[in-house]
Amino acid sequence: MEKSGTGNKQGTARRSFLKKGALGIGAAAIGAGFLAKGSPAFAQEHEGGSLSKGDVDILQLLLAAEIIETDLWKQYRELGGVEVANNPTFQPYVNGLLQLDGDMPQYISDNTDDEISHVAFLRAYLKSKGHEPINLDKFAHNLAPSSVPGVPQTGRLTNLKQLKVDTSWWTRYRSKENVDLGAPAFPQAVPSLNEGQHPAIPATLADLSDANHAQAIANTAGFHFGFIEQAGTSLYATLSQRVSNPEVLRITISIGGAEIMHFQVWHDKAGNAVALTDNQPGGTLTFVNLAQGQPESLQANLIMPEPTDFIKGLPEVSIIRPTGAGQLDATGAIKGFIEDGLFIGQPKELQQFLLNLAAEADEARRES
Ligand SMILES: [Fe+2]
Ligand SMILES: [Fe+2]
């Protein structure tokens, strides 16, 4: 995509969530006044009735996952979003992101908006059904932000300075084997990213003083975006199978669909990571050019899901995966976030809280 994409959009994120929310309510109110009951407009309205314990547990876990996503995406937006893409201090990082795609800053800002909307919606939905939404407020400001001048100096929930990024989703989606049917773990696309600890945002001004290092941080972010969103993709699909209420199912497959869209975008961008070697305190990082001379298990432009084994006795099919128990279900997704390093520096209490929420969500079963 052309690199001029950010040029005329500086400071104007595609969507202002609050503005759009206010307009949405107004339009709905006007519409409701003019339409007779039973018209399609009313099909959009809330269903009455209470939710099963399983449905509430699933929604609470998904809310926690969305709060985590929102916190990390906000950090990416502060340093690489369209609103700051012209900030001269951030240029080495922004330039690194632009190597992955000329529209990266816009996509980062929009992904952030989407996560904010997911949190606001799930909170409001739980409240509308008489349930107090969980919150992570106690942990939300425990971690120091990036010290790069221009970044708001407020504490954070998630760590993006020392990550171990699992890049096996890359080879999983290029394989005909399926972990849901017992395939062994898939190899890493970028083995050195899954060892040691690496920054995905510039933690200090010093991180921006060397273009190669800044590019390595941007490359790391590119693969981390894919890692996060493939987890959301599988998480929603896995938990949707245990939802009982049709409206809750509509919510989980609809928000889950947005996670799939995020994943697909980032899957495409990560393959443009620039080949380099960077000696970091947390270990040497090596990126190879995935666009040239690679086997199909690594080839950058093979971003459509390779048809895979799915249901025994039936043909291979192109699908998102995994979607079975014991993989990227609630517990699997939270464990993945923990192993990623997102909660380094947080008290163990946070991990335990999340794992307990996940265990409850994984116990949910569809009730007729
Ligand atoms: Fe989300
Ligand atoms: Fe997401």
**How many angstroms separate the alpha carbon of residue 217 from the centre of ligand 2?**
20
207-227 residue pLDDT tens: 999 999 999 999 999 999 999
Hey, what are 248's tokens? 């809750």
**Would you say residue 30 has pLDDT above 60?**
no
| Distance, CA of 79 to CA of 93 (rounded, Å) | 8
DSSP label of 198: B
**Would you say residue 327 has pLDDT above 60?**
yes
Using a CB cutoff of 5 Å, list residues around ligand 1, an ion.
Answer: 66, 69, 115, 118
**How many angstroms separate the alpha carbon of residue 322 from the centre of ligand 2?**
17
**How many angstroms separate the alpha carbon of residue 343 from the centre of ligand 1?**
18
Q: What is the mean pLDDT of residues 1-9?
A: 40
> In this predicted structure, what is the pLDDT of residue 15?
55
| Distance, CA of 169 to CA of 233 (rounded, Å) | 11
**How many angstroms separate the alpha carbon of residue 327 from the centre of ligand 2?**
18
> In this predicted structure, what is the pLDDT of residue 47?
67
> In this predicted structure, what is the pLDDT of residue 14?
58
Q: What is the mean pLDDT of residues 106-135?
A: 98
**How many angstroms separate the alpha carbon of residue 61 from the centre of ligand 2?**
14
51-69 residue pLDDT tens: 999 999 999 999 999 999 9
Which ligand has the nearest atom to the CA of 118? 1
Hey, what are 149's tokens? 């001048």
Do the Cβ atoms of 157 and 71 come closer than 8 Å? yes
**How many angstroms separate the alpha carbon of residue 30 from the centre of ligand 2?**
32
| Distance, CA of 286 to CA of 278 (rounded, Å) | 7
Do the Cβ atoms of 82 and 106 come closer than 8 Å? yes
**How many angstroms separate the alpha carbon of residue 255 from the centre of ligand 1?**
7
**How many angstroms separate the alpha carbon of residue 35 from the centre of ligand 2?**
35
> In this predicted structure, what is the pLDDT of residue 179?
96
**How many angstroms separate the alpha carbon of residue 255 from the centre of ligand 2?**
9
266-294 residue pLDDT tens: 999 999 999 999 999 999 999 999 999 99
| Distance, CA of 27 to CA of 160 (rounded, Å) | 39
- Where do we find the tokens 């609470």? 60
Rounded to the nearest angstrom, the gap between the alpha carbon of residue 197 and the centroid of all alpha carbons in its chain is 19
**How many angstroms separate the alpha carbon of residue 121 from the centre of ligand 2?**
14
**Would you say residue 176 has pLDDT above 80?**
yes
Do the Cβ atoms of 161 and 90 come closer than 8 Å? no
Grade residue 88 by pLDDT with cuts at 50, 70 and 90.
very high
What share of the chain in percent tops pLDDT 90?
86
Q: What is the mean pLDDT of residues 78-105?
A: 98
**How many angstroms separate the alpha carbon of residue 21 from the centre of ligand 2?**
19
- Gyration radius (Cα) of the chain, Å: 21
Do the Cβ atoms of 322 and 189 come closer than 8 Å? no
> In this predicted structure, what is the pLDDT of residue 49?
76
| Distance, CA of 66 to CA of 117 (rounded, Å) | 9
| Distance, CA of 362 to CA of 128 (rounded, Å) | 23
**How many angstroms separate the alpha carbon of residue 259 from the centre of ligand 1?**
6
| Distance, CA of 310 to CA of 176 (rounded, Å) | 10
Do the Cβ atoms of 208 and 148 come closer than 8 Å? yes
DSSP secondary structure, 324-360, as one string: STTSSSHHHHHHHHHHHTTTTTS-HHHHHHHHHHHHH
Q: What is the mean pLDDT of residues 26-32?
A: 40
**How many angstroms separate the alpha carbon of residue 73 from the centre of ligand 1?**
10
303-319 residue pLDDT tens: 999 999 999 999 999 99
CB atoms within 10 A of CB 364: 22
Do the Cβ atoms of 204 and 288 come closer than 8 Å? no
Grade residue 4 by pLDDT with cuts at 50, 70 and 90.
very low
Q: How far apart are the first and last CA of the chain?
A: 48
Q: Which residue from 12, 349, 367, 350 is spatially nearest to 157, judged by alpha carbons?
A: 350
Which ligand has the nearest atom to the CA of 255? 1
> In this predicted structure, what is the pLDDT of residue 17?
44
Length of the chain: 368
- The pTM of the full predicted model, rounded to 2 decimals, is 0.90
**Would you say residue 128 has pLDDT above 80?**
yes
**How many angstroms separate the alpha carbon of residue 263 from the centre of ligand 1?**
11
CB atoms within 10 A of CB 213: 22
**Would you say residue 198 has pLDDT above 90?**
yes
**How many angstroms separate the alpha carbon of residue 116 from the centre of ligand 1?**
8
